[in-house]
């Protein structure tokens, strides 16, 4: 009983280390967590004083808590029961599926990452690639938005740069929550995008349980006043034209809306346009049914990046022209219901989607390349002098302006704007210059049409 027992030294060290970890976890770590939480709350308070649209508590809730809230929401549980009965699957199995969908959808927003790092990266990247310009903005209407309303930015989808550009330009208003497709669910993009508050969606999923879990998350975020950004077209425009709206996310937002008790939803139309879309040739190829593997796309991306870096090092890099974003007047859903509330849910949602896309199309800014491309598209068989191009561009522009369109004219000099458009098209060999006359490169007519289509809906 009183005999000496020998214990290896490594056991003593291990026990001591475990004891130290336990001591830190019980005494020191709570203090450290309290300290950082206090600093975070103070930072959020300062941010909310500066932002037009405040960061809602819903967005700051711990991800683990939000996953549980979503997975155990009464509507989700009802969906689990129905799915289990319909598909003849045991309830625990379906419950695990719902939890997996909840973990997949719920983001892990970090205000520190968003405002300290992501905004700076977005600003640097946007300005490095484009001459970024804020187009038409209805400031009065935006300032009159009910501060308690949920604001949803509704945008056309031209490029994957849309996320970065709008995040940068909307940084003074709020932290936006995007719905991002499956293309971004790869490491490390998944962790990065999730920390920015974006949530991932399976656009082509027909699984009813998944769709109901997703719908409930969108409804919860909307009811909580989280500022969001959606692309009703569902994907990138492959021919440059505005596509008909896909109303999935919008239908989730307005489902069960009660004008008397629900928080108002204000939809803000946002129009984007570029003098050069990074993915233009890839999009045109996919429009013609040409399929390329992910490896080929990645290789093309690396070659593109390498080429641009080489141009920067040699001092020959030329930014991809102008990128412009316009913000239209918000559409209050409560006001919308006063004229459309008598319709059935599906009909009302379609009417809302149609009006939103009309408003989005109306604020898409005209940029030099789009305007010059439109002139050349109607004069493909003719060689034009620079004077002829300026005159024809002016005629087209005046007609579009009469329809309520907006154009960003660099330096308020229209001739310079036309020169910018010509320079961009010449650099990419979409048009040719011979003996002082410009003509269309026949092999690039589709690309010319792509940029012209960006403003085709304006008249």
CATH of residue 247's domain is 3.40.1130.10
Tens digits of residue pLDDT in 153-178: 999 999 888 888 888 887 766 777 87
Residues with Cβ within 8 Å of residue 277, at least 6 apart in sequence? 158, 159, 161, 283, 450
In a domain, 74, yes or no: no
In a domain, 234, yes or no: yes
Lowest-pLDDT range, 9-18, 62-71, 127-136?
9-18
- Cβ-based neighbour number of residue 307 at 10 Å: 11
Tell me, yes or no, whether 245 and 289 share the same domain: no
299 compared with 440, residue with greater pLDDT: 440
Tell me, yes or no, whether 149 and 269 share the same domain: yes
| CA 131 vs CA 123, 180, 271, 320: distances in Å | 11, 25, 16, 8
pLDDT at 74 over 90: yes
Q: Is 132 left (phi over 0), alpha (psi -120 to 50) or beta?
A: beta
- The confidence score (pLDDT) of residue 278 equals 87
Distance CA 448, CA 430 (A): 7
Residue where one domain finishes, among candidates 319, 347, 381 = 319
Distance CA 308, CA 304 (A): 6
218 compared with 30, residue with greater pLDDT: 218
The rounded percent of the chain whose pLDDT value lies above 90 is 42
Tens digits of residue pLDDT in 97-130: 999 999 988 888 777 777 778 888 888 888 988 9
Return the DSSP state at 137. Answer: E
Tell me, yes or no, whether 264 and 402 share the same domain: no
Tell me, yes or no, whether 403 and 443 share the same domain: yes
Distance CA 7, CA 4 (A): 10
- Of 406, 436, 440, nearest in space to 426 by CA: 440
Give 56-86 as a DSSP string: PHHHHS-HHHHHHHHHT-HHHHHHHHHHHHH
In a domain, 83, yes or no: no
Tell me, yes or no, whether 293 and 346 share the same domain: no
Tens digits of residue pLDDT in 138-149: 878 878 888 889
Alpha helices in 341-413 (DSSP H): 345-363, 368-377, 386-402
Tell me, yes or no, whether 236 and 344 share the same domain: yes
In a domain, 59, yes or no: no
As for how many domains the chain has, the answer is 4
Side-chain-facing half-sphere of 111: CA atoms under 13 Å = 23
- The confidence score (pLDDT) of residue 318 equals 76
18 compared with 35, residue with greater pLDDT: 18
Rounded to two decimals, the pTM is 0.84
Distance CA 311, CA 304 (A): 11
In a domain, 237, yes or no: yes
In a domain, 22, yes or no: yes
Tens digits of residue pLDDT in 172-217: 667 778 777 766 666 656 666 776 677 878 877 788 999 999 999 9
Give 15-26 as a DSSP string: HHHHHHHHHIII
- Of 266, 243, 413, nearest in space to 330 by CA: 266
Tell me, yes or no, whether 233 and 218 share the same domain: yes
Q: What domain range includes position 21?
A: 10-50
- The confidence score (pLDDT) of residue 46 equals 54
Tell me, yes or no, whether 182 and 295 share the same domain: no
pLDDT at 435 over 70: yes
User: Could you tell me if 259 and 352 are in contact, meaning their C-beta atoms sit under 8 angstroms apart?
Assistant: no
pLDDT at 271 over 90: yes
- The confidence score (pLDDT) of residue 101 equals 92
Tens digits of residue pLDDT in 274-329: 999 988 888 888 777 666 665 666 676 677 767 777 767 777 677 889 999 999 99
| CA 2 vs CA 5, 6, 86: distances in Å | 9, 13, 68
Tell me, yes or no, whether 262 and 351 share the same domain: yes
Q: What is the mean pLDDT of the chain?
A: 83
- The confidence score (pLDDT) of residue 121 equals 84
Residues with Cβ within 8 Å of residue 396, at least 6 apart in sequence? 371, 374, 375
Residues with Cβ within 8 Å of residue 32, at least 6 apart in sequence? none
Give 104-133 as a DSSP string: HH-----HHIIIIIIHHHHHHHHHHHSEEE
10 compared with 377, residue with greater pLDDT: 377
45 compared with 333, residue with greater pLDDT: 333
Going by pLDDT thresholds of 50, 70 and 90, the confidence category of residue 48 is low
- The confidence score (pLDDT) of residue 206 equals 81
| CA 80 vs CA 85, 165, 200, 299: distances in Å | 9, 39, 21, 42
Handedness of CA 418, 451, 154, 332 (dihedral sign): positive
Distance CA 337, CA 61 (A): 32
Q: List beta partners, residue 133.
A: 324
Tell me, yes or no, whether 269 and 340 share the same domain: yes
The owner of tokens 């308690």 is 148
Residues with Cβ within 8 Å of residue 176, at least 6 apart in sequence? 153, 166, 167, 170, 197, 227, 228, 229
Say what angle helices 208-223 and 63-71 make with each other, to 10 degrees. Answer: 120
- The confidence score (pLDDT) of residue 140 equals 82
In a domain, 379, yes or no: yes
In a domain, 426, yes or no: yes
Tell me, yes or no, whether 33 and 116 share the same domain: no
Going by pLDDT thresholds of 50, 70 and 90, the confidence category of residue 366 is very high
Residue where one domain finishes, among candidates 363, 384, 416 = 363
- The confidence score (pLDDT) of residue 52 equals 61
pLDDT at 251 over 80: yes
Tell me, yes or no, whether 293 and 408 share the same domain: no
Residue where one domain finishes, among candidates 363, 385, 416 = 363
Residues with Cβ within 8 Å of residue 58, at least 6 apart in sequence? 66, 220, 221, 224, 225, 226
Tokens encoding 345: 């849910």
Handedness of CA 157, 158, 161, 164 (dihedral sign): negative
């Amino acid at each position: 009983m009183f005999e000496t027992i020998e214990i290896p030294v490594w056991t003593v060290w291990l026990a001591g280390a475990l004891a130290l970890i336990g001591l830190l976890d019980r005494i020191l770590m709570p203090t450290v967590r309290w300290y950082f939480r206090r600093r975070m709350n103070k930072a959020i308070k300062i941010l909310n004083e500066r932002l037009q649209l405040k960061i809602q508590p819903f967005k700051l809730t711990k991800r683990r808590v939000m996953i549980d809230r979503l997975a155990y929401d009464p509507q989700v549980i009802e969906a689990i029961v129905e799915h289990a009965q319909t598909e003849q699957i045991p309830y625990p199995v379906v419950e695990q599926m719902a939890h997996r969908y909840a973990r997949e959808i719920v983001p892990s927003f970090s205000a520190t990452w968003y405002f300290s790092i992501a905004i700076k990266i977005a600003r640097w990247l946007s300005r490095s690639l484009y001459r970024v310009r804020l187009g038409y903005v209805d400031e009065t209407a935006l300032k009159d938005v009910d501060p308690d309303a949920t604001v949803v930015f509704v945008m056309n989808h031209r490029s994957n740069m849309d996320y970065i550009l709008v995040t940068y330009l909307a940084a003074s208003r709020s932290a936006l929550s995007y719905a991002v497709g499956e293309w971004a669910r790869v490491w490390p993009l998944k962790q990065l995008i999730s920390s920015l508050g974006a949530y991932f969606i399976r656009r082509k999923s027909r699984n009813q349980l998944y769709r109901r879990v997703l719908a409930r998350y969108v409804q919860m975020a909307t009811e909580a006043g989280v500022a969001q950004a959606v692309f009703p077209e569902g994907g990138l425009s492959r021919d440059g034209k505005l596509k008909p709206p896909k109303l999935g996310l919008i239908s989730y937002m307005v489902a069960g809306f009660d004008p008397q008790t629900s928080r108002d939803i204000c939809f803000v139309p946002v129009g984007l346009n570029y003098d050069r879309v990074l993915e233009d040739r890839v999009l045109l190829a996919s429009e013609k049914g040409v399929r390329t593997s992910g490896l080929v796309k990645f290789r093309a991306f690396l070659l593109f990046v390498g080429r641009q870096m080489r141009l920067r090092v040699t001092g020959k890099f030329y930014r991809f022209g102008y990128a412009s974003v316009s913000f239209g007047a918000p559409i209050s859903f409560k006001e919308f219901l006063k004229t459309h509330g008598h319709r059935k849910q599906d009909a009302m949602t379609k009417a809302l989607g149609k009006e939103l896309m009309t408003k989005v199309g109306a604020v898409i800014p005209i940029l030099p390349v789009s305007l010059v491309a439109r002139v050349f598209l109607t004069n493909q068989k003719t060689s034009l002098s620079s004077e002829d191009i300026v005159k024809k561009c002016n005629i087209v522009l005046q007609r579009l302006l009469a329809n309520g369109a907006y154009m960003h004219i660099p330096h308020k000099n229209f001739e310079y704007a036309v020169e910018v458009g010509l320079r961009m098209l010449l650099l990419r060999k979409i048009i040719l210059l011979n003996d002082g006359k410009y003509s269309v490169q026949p092999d690039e007519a589709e690309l010319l049409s792509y940029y012209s289509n960006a403003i085709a809906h304006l008249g």
